[in-house]
Every structure is written in C-alpha cells, then in structure tokens.
Chains A and B, each alone.
Chain A
Amino acid sequence: MDSIKRAVNSFGLPRVIILAFFVFLLGMAAFYDLGIPALLGDVIRRWGMFGILVLAMVPAIQSGIGPNFGVSIGIIGGLLGSLISIEMRDMGYFEATANPEVVSVIIALIFAIVFAGIFGFLYGLLLNRVKGSEMVVSTYVGFSMVALFNIMWLLLPFRSGTSIWPIAGEGLRTTISLADDFGGVFNDLLAFELGDMSVPTGLLLVFFLCCFLVWLFTQSRIGMMMRAAGSNPNFARAAGINVNKMRVLGTTLSTILGGIGIVAFAQSFGFLQLYNAPLMMGFTVVASVLVGGASVVNARIFNVLLGTFLFQGILTVAIPVANQMVPEGNLSEILRMIISNGIILYALSKSREATR
C-alpha cells in the first residue's frame, strides 16, 4: 500500500487520474466494439503529429518565459516555409532530383526554420520587455500574428495553382492539399501494419530525433545556462550569464520548433491549414505538456512524451465513444469540445502541483 502511494506521488495524482480516464475510454471503446487496434494506431499517429509542437514548450519553459502560448508565431513561420516549398516545386525546381517529395519537405523545413527563427528572435526581444506577464502577452501576440497573417495570406505573392483560389486567381486557400508535395513523406517512411494498427514509423522517428536533439541541447553548456537563467535569474547573473539573451534564445528555439512541428503536422494531416487554424493551437500544446506533468516553471522531455500521448489519446478515443453514446450528430461534436477544453482547464488548474 505504501509503495503504491509513493508511486502515485512520484507520478503525480493528476496524471494518474487522466491515465485512468484514458483506460476507461479504451474500455468503453472495447465495449462498443470500436476496433481498439485501429484506434491505437490513430492515437500513435496523432502523438507523432502533435509531438514536436508540444516539444516547443520545453525551451520556452526552461528559459523562464513560461509555456509558449504564442507558438502560433512559429506555426506561421512553418506555413510560410511550406508555401515556399510548394511554390518552388511548382516552378519545377525539384523535378530533376531523385526524390522530389523528400527535397520538398527539406526545403519546407529550412525555410520554416529561417522564418520561425527571425520571428522567434523578435518575439523574444518583446517578451523581455514584459517580464512577469509573459503568459498573457504571448497569448495575445499569438492572436495578433494570426490576425495579421489573415491579411498577409491574401496579399503575399504566391502564385502556385495548388495554393491560391482557382477562380479568383489570387489569395491563398484556407486548406491547401499537400498530396503533390510532401504529404505523408514522414508517415510513409518505413510504415508498417500490425493487424489493424498502422504505425507511422518515419513520423515517430522524426519526433524522437527532435526530442533527442532538444535533450542534447539541455545537456550542453548553453542549455544548462539557459535553464539556470530560467529557474533562478539571480543565480544566473552571479554566474555571469546574460539572462535576457538566454530568454531570447529559449523563445527562438521554441518558435523554431513550432515551425518544424507544423511541417510534421501538415505532412501527416495531408493539408496546410491557413487563416484561423493556428489560433487555438497554443492552448492545445500548452495543455498537453501540463498534462504530462510539466509546470509553468519546469518541463522535461518526458512530460512532452507522456502529455501528448495522454491528451491526444483521450481525444482520439473519446470522439467515437461519444458518437456511440450520443448518436445525434451535433451532440458528439459538442461533447468533443467539452472534453478537450475540460482537459485543458484541468491541466491548467493542476499545473502548480506538477512533479519535478
């Protein structure tokens, strides 16, 4: 009994509750005969899809700016990168290469990193001026960027037929198919089927690689300095560390991961989503990392892995279960909203009791 108590304590009660809820949903899914393997395959796919976006929270939290609600800024950078890649493919730049899809995703990633990097740097400078209220400010800066780019998407000189409205002949579409570009490049790499469960090996490998790189960074000299600046600015100062620089670094890294994350997300989803699609992404990814046991001042890779899995797992399984329980079409959509926002609220309210 005592050892169980201790195990629960070290894992954190909120996570035990959420895990229990997930298992309960799986039980319900089995009860309604919904095909557990296929559902699990879905959970794994979404785990990989959202993973890197959630990973973007780690450098932000560690550098002391807190959970990056403004991750949509990075997402916009990633969208720009993807659009440029589509444009270049359209001009025929990749045709000569052995593997146009791979080249196109690499080009998308490179431009995503460049744009997200620039945005992140400026955003970091801004956050240094509003110390103490980063969470509110980042949320609104994220919103404003989305609003600004609602206009930009109409104005930017993209010309590819894939991207723009076919009739108007200008302005980017709300959803852009990646079927001819890099759609599914990661997902299909080394993918295999286990009964009804499909495993997107490549996507998971990319996700784990990113996790590993971020982990390596936290173990480097600069990474340690950034963590110190975040957890105790006075200590960092005494150690000769420029706290503001470290915060900008953390913000930039977080934004870049947001850019990479959306490219991985979009290739799995098969579409780029512009306009208001990135608006609420900040809440989803912040909630995920908090569900995984991070707090607003402390986050580790483990929190990302666990939190994304639980959050996406619950959403994926809850929808079909809710559909079975409440067959009337609209209600299940409402239930889905209640469940996802419920988890977000629960995670936010429990974020202070997080494990270390």
Chain B
Amino acid sequence: MSEEFVLELENISKEYSGNPVLKNVSLSVKPGEIYALIGENGAGKSTLMNILFGMSVIHETGGFTGKVKIGGQEAKFTSPADAMLAGIGMVHQEFMLIPGFTIVENIKVGREETLPTIASRVFGKSLERLDTERMAADARKALDAIGMDINEFTRVAGLPVGYMQFVEIAREIDKENLKLLVFDEPTAVLTESEAEQLLSVMQSLSDKGIAIIFITHRLSEVMAVARRMTVLRDGEVVASKPIAQTDVVEIAELMVGRRIEKLVDDESRSVAPDENAEIAVKVRDLFVDMPGEMVKGVDLDIRKGEIFGIGGLAGQGKVGIPNGIMGMSPASGTVEVFGEKVTFSKLGDALSKGVSFVSEDRRGVGLLIGESIAHNIIFNTMTVKGGFLGLGKIISHHQVRAHAQSMIELLDIRCVGGSQRVGSLSGGNQQKVCLAAALTLKPRLLIVSEPTRGIDIGAKKLIMEYLTKLRNEEGLTIIMVSSELAELRSVCDRIAIVSEGKVSSILPPEAPDADFGLAMSAVGSKEVE
C-alpha cells in the first residue's frame, strides 16, 4: 500500500440541525506538506477539522457523511483519543487547556511519563510513579522548540491568551507518533515576529515529514509557508490550488467572492484630534499584576476622539493595561477617564464610568457560551444601565430581539438568528458578538483587546471602518490593543509600544518599520548590556 496521502477527506457533508455547513468537501494532504485551509468566518473550516479529529460535538449533532482516510485506510474516529492514536494532533481555535494545571501538566496530560515503583512491579503500570523530572524536561524541550521562555511550572489559569496558544502548540509537538498536525488559527493572537517564529517551527516539523493543515486569516502567512491550499466558501470548496499558482489578491477574492481593498481609506484619518484636544484618559504610574503580562509603571495621555493603539510582543504587558483598568487583574496607580478616577478595587467601576471592554479572551471572559447571541449582546447594557427592561423590570424580549437583529446586520454576524446559542457560532462570529455587546453599551471610551482575533479579512475591514466611523461621527475614544502591528498602523492615530511592562515609545502610524522594531525590543536590548 503506497502512502501517497496521509489524509484524504472524501465528500464530507455535515449539517447542524438542518442547516448545512459543509457540502461535499474533499481534499487530500501529502506527508510533510503544509496545506492551507482558507475561508470566511463560518465557512466551515473548524467544523471540517472537528470531523477529522472525532470531536464529540459532531456525533452529538447527528454525525456527518463522507469518508476520512488516514494513510489510505478509512478511519472512523469516535473520540479525539482515537485520532491522537492514529497520529493526528490539533491546536484548537478555542483553547483546550486545564486552567488549574501547570504548563507541564497541560502538555503531558494523558501521556504522563512514569517510573516503576514497587507497587507497580506487582500490580501493573497504573501504579507507576510520575516521572516529574522527565516530564518537565520534555515540556521544556517543546517550549524551547517554539521559543517560549516561561517557567514550565506556571499555572495556566490567568496566563495571557498568547501564552495559552503557545502551550497548546507545545502540547501537540510533544507527541511522538505525530503524522498530521492541524493548526486552527494559531497566529490570531500572536504578533508578526511571534507568528514568524511559529511559522519556522511549522516548517521544521514539515521537514521532519509531519504534514500540517494550517487555518489562518492572514494570507501572507499562507503565501510564506503553504504548498497547496483549499478555499471554502459557505461550506463548499471553491478552489484547490498549489500556492505557486495563485496570489493573495486571488485568494481573497475566492474567499469572499468580491474584491477587498485597503482596510480603511486614508481620508478618514484626517479627523484625528489635534494636540490641544481634551484628554480623555490619563494613566499615571499604572502597575498591573497579570501573570505573564506584567505592567510596570505606564503613563499615557489619550485624547478625546483618538484611536490609540497599544502594541508590543506577547508577554511584554500590553494586554495587562486594559485588564488592569477594567479591574480584571490587581492594579495600582491612577487612571482617570474624562476626569473621573477609576477605582480598580471596585468591581465594574470603569464600566459604570462609560468604559466598555472587549476582552482578548472571548470564551473565558467575553461571552456566556450557553446563552443566545441576543442575550450576550444586551447583557452588560442591561446590568450596568438597566437597558432593555420592560414592564415590571422584566427583560423585554421584543426590544432585545430587535436590537440583536440590527447588530447582526450591522456587523454581518453569520448565524441562524438572534436566538442561536453563541457557543455554536464560528470563532470569528463569536468575536463579532463580543464587539456588538461592547458597542451596545454606547461607551465614551471603548477598549478593544485583539478586536479582530480570528476575523476574516472582509469582516475586519467592515469592523475597522465602523470603529473609525464611530470616532468620526460621535467622537468615540478608542484604545486598541493588538498583536497585529499592521492592523494598528492602518487605523490608529498614535501607537504606544509596550516592552518589559513599560511604554518604550509612542509612534505615529507612518513611522518607519525600523522604529517600530526598535521600540518593540527597546528595553530588552538595554538589559543585555
């Protein structure tokens, strides 16, 4: 039997309660090949990978039709454990880590290394002692392979999302019999340089003969590493091609079925407030104790009506700033919003002062997974401002439904309707729900952390344009924390780069690349001396 393909998917179809999300999808992947799977939010990429990996959501919702072949033989996985045994690994779009465990435990869970003990010699392997040293060493090796220098005994709970992403990846590459590894949007929360590091890890895995399926919305990454690609649109394959025969523009067109231009048109930026504008947010000496994203003394003055970017490498503290302001992590120092001082220790204080926040951790902090889209969108507005309450302070389903519908249209949330459970939306569409919820609060200051995480290029343009419009027409002040420098540079008026918990410099978006690069590594290089 020749193993021409590690993986063949034949005519896969799947529907969720009568709603077809995959229609006759076929593709095949060769050993050692990096294969890109591309498509808009809700196109069906994660669903296809869940089928391949035997995830329980698939059986619980009626299974699928079509064949999955591994090494030429049909495979019928009933659980992810089966898929793992067959040599398939997966880095999920939504993290699958155990928060109370350390990084080592998370990497090794289910595959613990053991040492024989007296009891185990008599009663068998299940009584062997954990070989903590070897496990830690393995974990260290995997972490080093992806260039992550965090203590391997840190607990996962409370780690920034970028780190969780790396831990997920380390867990997968630590597996020995790996033949095929699926990455579902691994770079969505990483900066360009980190993403590059990850891409080189992928390249070296591929050189070892491990095939990789790579799902991403960053087309430049596809161009850089992938050999072939398949584009899905509304659950159908619209094209399968070698990368060499296509380009970014064509792929983008294939994805959305129309042309995509620049993220935001240049003239809209002219509304940026000048230097004498009122100060909206005054941050002095801010310290935030967020594991892995420590903030160590930040001062900022953000003008009213400004779109202010905060960038920097993962772990340098950029994510800690909004989490400190919003009271999610212990913080000290002073933050004034429109002249009012925010009390960090008082729960929801920033919220009640007109600040709304889109968290980078959408499933952990941003959403009520079990509730409907509509309830998620109105929740904060209802609790903080008492909105959407009708007769007798009972929630007014009529108002809620109408508002949810308008938000669904405004942000192009792909769903069956406002009453669909948020947990059953695709990743990118969940992100849009988070944004819709923050906008519904009608904030004076909007803080968005990784706002476009996992959002496709079409939707990204839509969201960026809408945020810019809110600023231009209603004078909304926006703080945007993002790993994607290109994104910040395309919409922000000024960008602060955070390094080692401090602001290393504040740059205009048109500053040369070199300045940004220098700022990102600024404090780091000082320490080397």
Chains A and B belong together in one complex: yes
Stretch at the interface among B40-48, B366-374, B500-508: B366-374
Query: CB-CB < 8 A to A235: which residues of B?
Result: 364-368
Write the B313-357 contact mask toward A (1 if CB under 8 angstroms, else 0). Answer: 000000000000011100000000000000000011101100001
Question: Do A228 and B348 form a contact, CB below 8 Å, given A238-B357, A239-B379?
Answer: no
Any A CB within 8 A of the CB of B382: yes
Partner of A240, one of B351, B364, B366, B371: B351
Closest 4 CB pairs of A and B: A240-B348, A234-B365, A240-B351, A219-B394
Closest to B17 in A: A6
Query: CB-CB < 8 A to A5: which residues of B?
Result: 62
Q: B385 CB to closest chain A CB, in angstroms?
A: 10
**B368 contacts A240, C-beta separation under 8 Å:** no
Task: Kindly state the separation between the CA atoms of A32 and B208 in the bound complex, as whole angstroms.
Answer: 72
Any A CB within 8 A of the CB of B375: yes
Apart from A234-B328, A235-B367, A240-B327, 8 more pairs, CB < 8 Å: A6-B17, A219-B394, A219-B395, A228-B368, A228-B379, A232-B364, A240-B351, A242-B347
Closest to A232 in B: B368
Q: Could you give 9 example pairs across A and B, Cβ below 8 Å?
A: A220-B393, A221-B383, A228-B368, A231-B368, A231-B369, A231-B371, A235-B365, A239-B384, A240-B352
Query: CB-CB < 8 A to B421: which residues of A?
Result: 356
Closest to B18 in A: A6
**A240 contacts B62, C-beta separation under 8 Å:** no
Total interface residues on B, CB under 8 Å, equals 37
Q: Which A residues, 191 to 240, have Cβ-Cβ distances below 8 Å to chain B? A: 216, 219-221, 224-225, 227-228, 231-232, 234-235, 237-240
Question: Do A6 and B369 form a contact, CB below 8 Å, given A219-B395, A220-B394, A238-B359?
Answer: no
Any A CB within 8 A of the CB of B386: yes
Question: Do A240 and B359 form a contact, CB below 8 Å, given A6-B17, A221-B393, A232-B369?
Answer: no
Total interface residues on A, CB under 8 Å, equals 23
Query: CB-CB < 8 A to A298: which residues of B?
Result: 370
Q: B318 CB to closest chain A CB, in angstroms?
A: 18
Query: CB-CB < 8 A to A227: which residues of B?
Result: 371
Task: Kindly state the separation between the CA atoms of A138 and B304 in the bound complex, as whole angstroms.
Answer: 52
Q: B527 CB to closest chain A CB, in angstroms?
A: 33
Any A CB within 8 A of the CB of B178: no
Query: CB-CB < 8 A to A221: which residues of B?
Result: 382-383, 386, 389, 393, 395
Any B CB within 8 A of the CB of A241: yes
Q: B373 CB to closest chain A CB, in angstroms?
A: 15
Task: Kindly state the separation between the CA atoms of A219 and B60 in the bound complex, as whole angstroms.
Answer: 29
Task: Kindly state the separation between the CA atoms of A232 and B392 in the bound complex, as whole angstroms.
Answer: 26
Any A CB within 8 A of the CB of B79: no
Query: CB-CB < 8 A to B393: which residues of A?
Result: 220-221
Any B CB within 8 A of the CB of A276: no
**B375 contacts A224, C-beta separation under 8 Å:** yes
Any A CB within 8 A of the CB of B380: yes
**B349 contacts A240, C-beta separation under 8 Å:** yes
